[in-house]
Amino acid sequence: MALCHWLIVLFAFFGIARALKATEGDVDPIYRGCVENCQETGCVGSQQCFQHCIFTADGNISDGRWYLQEPLYLKWKQWDCHSDCRYYCMLAREEERRKLGEKPVKYYGRWPFRRVYGIQEPVSVSFSALNLAIQFHGWISFFILVNYKLPLTDNRKTYYEYSGLWHIYGVLAMNCWFWAPVFHSRDLDLTEKLGYSSAVALLGFGLIVAIFRVFEIKQEASRVMVSAPLIAFVTTHILFLNFYALDYGLNMKVCLTMGLAQFLLWAIWGRVSQHPSRWKLWVVVIGGALSTLLVIYDFPPYWELVDALAVWHAITIPLSYLWWSFIKDDAEFRTLTLLKKAK
């Protein structure tokens, strides 16, 4: 679960918004005129010109269109002259709108953010990185708990039947939160697909773990029967998104279905099982759902840095910590239960 499930839904939500290309900012005639002029001259206004756009000594374009003349490091980052034209024209237009008392508008489906050291959404990147750190801390503390602090069986295996599953889950969660800051650093086709793919993989495996734990499926044959169709479906969906069509609407339906299924499983199980740490489970489920409403509200960024998604990333940090705390509590609870039965 680990809040990255809501990240998947938000990827899909904003993906649909981006698919509707004609947002108010990028169809603005003043903005479009600025971009067209910048593509011809390499400058925005009379002050802002780009040093990495190469011209000949007489001011003509050298070796073709100017925005193709990029240093290798800029090509690698893909912050090229063409991207800079859009970015600085956006800032210039937003400054004009601010002076006129008008509210910010979206450009190509995204709010206007100010870059920091070339990072597209620096606050979201920072909070996503902290979420990655929380995932690592949660997973490594769980590993130490089940392998070194809790009793082991005679053949040096853990009593907790789901420890292997949570280890795989932890790796997938860290992978998910690794690609989230990469995506927020630079929104490209590649980073978007990696973000979607890693998040969908986590969501699918999270559903498998939820089914195993809620229904206490322990036999290997039963686990294979349950997980095989889900793994096949998730793998097919990821391949479809990457190699056929990045269908935002379809992905939204798939993610909502799998996400809501496991949220309901965990919430109902917490009530029925009377787990001693069920309150942590409910806080994560309810907190995750309520924080998502914040993002659906989707307010413009304050100081051109902090928007609703950045605030959501901040909220998920304590919720992710609490989620791993519940997993560790569950490992202790099951281990003690099994030891009592063995006596």
Note the pLDDT tens digit of each residue in 276-334.
888 988 888 888 777 777 766 777 777 877 877 778 888 889 999 999 999 999 999 99
Question: Same domain for 83 and 156?
Answer: no
Q: Span 126-155, mean pLDDT?
A: 90
SS3 119: strand
Question: Same domain for 295 and 313?
Answer: yes
Q: Give the confidence band of 69 by pLDDT, cuts at 50, 70, 90.
A: very low
Question: Same domain for 10 and 40?
Answer: no
Mean pLDDT of the chain: 78
Is the pLDDT assigned to residue 122 strictly greater than 50?
yes
Is the pLDDT assigned to residue 53 strictly greater than 60?
no
Q: Does residue 116 lie in a domain region?
A: no
Question: Same domain for 68 and 170?
Answer: no
Q: Does residue 307 lie in a domain region?
A: yes
Residue written as token pair 């509200």: 297
Note the pLDDT tens digit of each residue in 239-269.
988 888 777 778 777 877 888 888 889 888 8
Question: Same domain for 131 and 168?
Answer: yes
Instruction: Return d(Cα 208, Cα 205) in angstroms, integer.
Output: 5
Among residues 111, 220, 120, the alpha carbon closest in space to that of 165 is found at 220
Q: Does residue 66 lie in a domain region?
A: yes
Torsion angle in degrees (nearest 10) through CA of 209, 212, 214, 219 = -160
Question: Same domain for 195 and 74?
Answer: no
Q: Does residue 109 lie in a domain region?
A: no
> What pLDDT does 321 receive?
93
Question: Same domain for 48 and 186?
Answer: no
Question: Same domain for 136 and 64?
Answer: no
> What pLDDT does 50 receive?
64
In the numeric block, which tokens belong to residue 296?
Answer: 């659906």
Instruction: Return d(Cα 32, Cα 225) in angstroms, integer.
Output: 56
- Name which residue leads in pLDDT, 320 or 21: 320
Instruction: Return d(Cα 194, Cα 179) in angstroms, integer.
Output: 7
Question: Same domain for 15 and 35?
Answer: no
Q: Does residue 318 lie in a domain region?
A: yes
Domain that holds residue 69: 29-99
| pLDDT over 90, % of the chain | 18
Instruction: Return d(Cα 55, Cα 69) in angstroms, integer.
Output: 9
Which stretches of the chain are DSSP H helices?
4-19, 29-41, 72-77, 81-99, 122-144, 163-185, 189-214, 220-243, 248-273, 278-297, 308-342
> What pLDDT does 212 receive?
92
Question: Same domain for 261 and 338?
Answer: yes
Question: Same domain for 73 and 137?
Answer: no
